[in-house]
Amino acid sequence: MPLYTLNINNNSFEVEVNKGTSLLWVLREHLGLTGTKYSCGIAQCGSCTIHIDQKPMRACILTVENFAMGQKILTIEGLSEKGEHPVQKAWIKTQAPQCGYCQSGQIMQAVALLKEKPKPSREEIKSYMNGILCRCGTYMRILEAIEIASEENSAIN
Ligand code: FES
Ligand code: FES
């Protein structure tokens, strides 16, 4: 099996897996980064959202061999070791999660939005977050959390 070196959360990881293995599988099963969730597996729900070079992408449809050239992969674990990222704090403030399953994907999408546009309008938030599904229907609390994070922080990293 080929050996791949991946840049994840500013650390270098080596994994020996078959070509074509999904990046989500590598994160969860080979590296123990289980914060990124598997749900639909076909890029339709957003629960597996991570950042590749600062852009939100669905890890379930990415394959490992395409990310061995030093692209920066960021997972929910890389935001803050103790949950102190401004977006995570806003999530706690609004008590956004219900079952929690979709929430790391929601947070990663929200962080990408606020990096791209620190002060989005409510409509822009809705549009950017569209497609990150929550079976528990926590959308209003997520919206509120993003607005809080946007108001309280001038720069989201
Ligand atoms: S598990 Fe990747 S988008 Fe649903
Ligand atoms: S909190 Fe349960 S799926 Fe979103």
Q: Which of 25, 42, 62, 75 to mutate to test the pocket of ligand 1 (most atoms within 8 A of CB)?
A: 42
74 and 125 both lie in a single domain: no
Instruction: Provide the CATH number for the domain around residue 104.
Output: 1.10.150.120
Q: For the chain, how many structural domains are there in total?
A: 2
**Among 2, 98, 108, which residue's Cα sits nearest to residue 45?**
108
Q: What are 63's strand-pairing partners?
A: 22
The minimum-distance atom of ligand 1 relative to the CA of 45 is: 4
Query: Is residue 155 scored above 70 in pLDDT?
Result: no
Q: Do 45 and 90 sit in the same domain of this protein?
A: no
Q: Are residues 64 and 42 in the same domain?
A: yes
Distance in Å, CA 77 to ligand 1 centroid = 18
Question: Where is the domain boundary, 28, 60, 78?
Answer: 78
- Give 57-95 pLDDT, tens digit per residue: 999 999 999 988 889 999 999 999 888 999 999 999 999
Assess whether 58 and 91 both reside in one domain: no
Q: What pLDDT, in 10s, does the model give residues 136-147? A: 999 999 999 999
Q: Are residues 72 and 55 in the same domain?
A: yes
Phi, psi of 144 (to 5 degrees): -60, -40
Nearest ligand to the CA atom of 103: 2
Which residues are near ligand 1 (CB < 6 Å)? 38-41, 43-48, 58, 60
27 secondary structure, DSSP code: I
In this structure, what DSSP letter does residue 101 have? Answer: T
What pTM, to 2 d.p., does this model score? 0.96
pLDDT over 90 at 153, yes or no = no
Domain around 124:
86-156
Q: Nearest bound ligand to CA 141? A: 2
